[in-house]
C-alpha cells in the first residue's frame, strides 16, 4: 500500500510544471535586460561604476517571486561572460521577520553567496566579504525577496542605515551589484521615505520600479479567460460549461484577486476533473479545489453562494491562506 496518490501526481504534474507568461513578465524582463546591459557596458569601460536595480512591489501572492525567480534562473543558465571573462550570475535571498538589523542582512547575503557565517566579524567586515565573494564567484546581482522585512515601522535611524547599505551594494568600487528588491507595497514606501541629501544619490532613482496589480475584473476579464482556457487546453478538459462572466468573477474573488491563487485553484480543479476521468469541468471541481487550497471543510464556497461577495472577504481569505502555510 502506498500513501502517494499517483493518479493525482500524473494529472497535476504537467499543469504545475507549466508557466503562463503574463504581459507584466515581458515588462519585467525588459527592465532586467536594461539593468544587465547597463552593467555590462559600464564594466567593459574598465572604470569604477555604479549599478542599477529593480524595485518590484505588489500584495502577497500576486506572482512577484515566481516571475523574478524564473527570470533570474533563466539568466544564470545562460552563463553569460562579463568583460572580465567570468560567467555572470545573480543570487537570491528571501528575508523574514528575523531580519532586525543591517548585520542580519549581511548574514543573508553571505549565505546566498555560499559563504559560511562570520559570527565574530564586524558588520563592515561582513559586507566587505560579501563583495569579495561576489567578485570571486562572478556574481553581479543579488535579489532580496520580502525585502520589507529589512525595515521597521518606527526605526527611522535603523531604516536609514539599511538604505545606505543597499546603495553601497549598487555603488561598491570593488564589485558593484545589481540590486533587486521585491515585497509588499510598504517596501516602496520605505524606499521613498529616504531623506534627501545634497551629496548623495537617492536609492529610489537607482531602481526601476514595477508594481504588480491585483486582478480587476472589468479590466482583466479577457486575460483571466485566456489564462483559464490555456490551462484547460493543456489538460484536454472542456471548459465551455463554465464560460460565463459570473463564474469568472467568482473565480477572481475566490482567489483574493491574486493571479497566483487563480492558477492554484485552476490546477486543483482540473486535476480533480482528470482524476475522476471526466472531460468537462464543473462547479463541483472548483468547490473541491477551493476547500483544498484554503483547507476548508465547511461546504460553503464563493462558487455556489448567491451573495458570495459579502459572504467571503477577499483579504480575509488571503490571511487564512497565509496562516495555513
Q: Do 64 and 190 belong to one domain?
A: yes
Q: How many CA atoms lie within 13 A of 251 on its CB side?
A: 30
User: CA-CA distance, 303 to 272, in Å (whole number)?
Assistant: 16
Q: Where are the alpha helices (DSSP H) in the chain?
A: 6-16, 23-45, 64-78, 102-112, 123-137, 156-171, 186-192, 217-235, 245-254, 259-275, 283-294, 308-311, 314-324
CA distances from 50 to 70, 207, 299, 315 (A): 25, 12, 56, 40
Percent of the chain clearing pLDDT 90 (strictly above) = 72
In the predicted model, is pLDDT for residue 293 greater than 60?
A: yes
CATH number of the structural domain spanning residue 62: 3.40.50.300
Same domain, yes or no, for 207 and 251? no
The answer to whether residue 4 sits within a structural domain is no
Residues 198, 227, single domain; the answer is no
What does the pLDDT look like over 171-215, one tens digit per residue? Answer: 998 899 999 999 999 999 999 876 544 434 578 889 999 999 999
pTM as predicted: 0.90
Element (H, E) at 93: strand 89-94
Choose the final residue of a domain: 145, 176, 211: 211
**The total number of residues written for the chain in this structure:** 325
Q: Same structural domain for residues 60 and 176? A: yes
| Percent of the residues in the chain that have a pLDDT greater than 70, as a whole number | 96
Domain boundary among 211, 228, 254: 211
CB contact at 8 A, 39 and 178: yes
Query: Is residue 315 a part of any domain in this protein?
Result: yes
Amino acid at each position: 500500500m502506498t500513501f502517494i496518490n499517483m493518479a493525482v501526481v500524473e494529472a497535476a504534474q504537467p499543469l504545475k510544471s507549466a508557466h503562463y507568461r503574463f504581459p507584466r513578465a515581458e515588462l519585467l524582463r525588459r527592465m532586467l535586460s536594461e539593468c544587465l546591459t547597463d552593467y555590462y557596458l559600464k564594466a567593459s569601460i574598465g572604470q569604477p561604476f555604479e549599478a542599477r536595480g529593480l524595485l518590484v512591489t505588489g500584495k502577497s501572492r500576486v506572482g512577484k517571486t515566481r516571475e523574478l525567480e524564473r527570470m533570474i534562473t533563466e539568466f544564470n543558465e545562460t552563463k553569460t561572460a562579463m568583460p572580465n571573462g567570468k560567467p555572470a550570475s545573480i543570487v537570491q535571498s528571501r528575508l523574514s521577520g528575523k531580519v532586525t538589523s543591517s548585520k542580519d542582512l549581511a548574514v543573508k547575503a553571505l549565505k546566498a553567496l555560499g559563504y559560511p557565517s562570520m559570527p565574530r566579524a564586524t558588520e563592515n567586515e561582513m559586507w566587505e566579504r560579501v563583495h569579495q565573494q561576489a567578485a570571486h564567484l562572478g556574481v553581479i546581482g543579488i535579489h532580496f525577496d520580502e525585502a520589507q522585512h529589512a525595515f521597521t515601522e518606527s526605526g527611522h535611524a535603523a531604516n536609514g542605515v539599511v538604505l545606505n547599505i543597499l546603495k553601497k551594494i549598487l555603488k561598491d568600487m570593488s564589485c558593484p551589484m545589481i540590486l533587486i528588491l521585491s515585497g509588499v507595497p510598504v517596501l516602496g514606501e520605505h524606499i521613498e521615505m529616504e531623506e534627501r541629501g545634497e551629496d548623495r544619490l537617492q536609492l529610489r532613482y537607482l531602481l526601476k520600479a514595477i508594481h504588480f496589480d491585483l486582478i480587476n475584473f472589468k479590466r482583466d476579464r479577457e486575460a483571466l479567460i485566456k489564462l483559464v482556457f490555456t490551462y484547460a487546453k493543456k489538460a484536454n478538459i472542456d471548459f465551455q460549461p463554465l464560460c460565463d462572466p459570473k463564474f469568472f468573477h467568482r473565480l477572481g474573488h475566490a482567489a483574493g484577486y491574486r493571479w497566483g491563487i487563480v492558477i492554484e485553484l485552476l490546477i486543483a480543479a482540473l486535476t480533480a476533473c482528470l482524476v475522476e476521468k471526466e472531460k468537462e469541468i464543473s462547479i463541483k471541481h472548483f468547490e473541491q479545489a477551493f476547500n483544498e487550497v484554503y483547507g476548508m471543510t465547511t461546504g460553503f464556497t464563493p462558487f455556489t453562494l448567491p451573495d458570495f461577495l459579502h459572504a467571503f472577504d477577499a483579504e480575509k481569505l488571503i490571511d487564512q491562506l497565509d496562516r495555513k502555510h
